[in-house]
């Protein structure tokens, strides 16, 4: 839970991080994709493309399932994620 809150706090201080940066940040964790999946399922983060368009949920699930490393996706924090960090 500590690493999840730490990544949420880091992302909240910016306009989002690309997926590769998040994976790099979580590299010390045994299961970075598990953390990303958990945060996504809890609706704490969302994914957008480089143009700022929301990525469909099926594409996000596929990316997580296949562990696709991409710099074409950006992870942003949601209102739920913000409340989790600052409550």
- Those residues with Cβ within 8 angstroms of residue 67's Cβ, 6 or more apart along the chain or in another chain: 33
Tokens 């996504």 belong to residue:
40
Q: How many domains does the chain have?
A: 1
Contact 54, 46 (CB under 8 A): yes
**In a structure prediction context, what are the per-residue pLDDT tens digits for the chain, which is 87 residues long?**
688 989 999 999 888 999 999 999 998 888 899 999 999 999 999 999 999 999 999 999 999 999 998 889 999 999 999 998 877
Nearest to 44 by CA among 56, 54, 32, 35: 35
* Residue-wise DSSP of 34-85: HHHHHHHHTTSEEEEETTSPBPPHHHHHHHHHHT---SSEEEEE-HHHHHHH
Residue 40: what pLDDT? 95
Residue 75: what pLDDT? 95
Residue 1: what pLDDT? 67
The pTM of the full predicted model, rounded to 2 decimals, is 0.88
Residue 3: what pLDDT? 87
Range of the domain at 15: 2-86
């Amino acid at each position: 839970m500590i690493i999840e809150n730490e990544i949420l706090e880091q992302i909240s201080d910016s306009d989002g991080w690309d997926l590769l940066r998040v994976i790099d940040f979580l590299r010390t964790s045994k299961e970075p994709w598990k953390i990303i999946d958990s945060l996504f399922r809890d609706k704490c983060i969302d994914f957008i493309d480089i143009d700022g368009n929301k990525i469909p949920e099926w594409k996000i699930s596929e990316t997580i399932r296949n562990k696709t490393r991409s710099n074409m996706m950006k992870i942003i924090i949601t209102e739920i994620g913000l409340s989790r960090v600052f409550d």
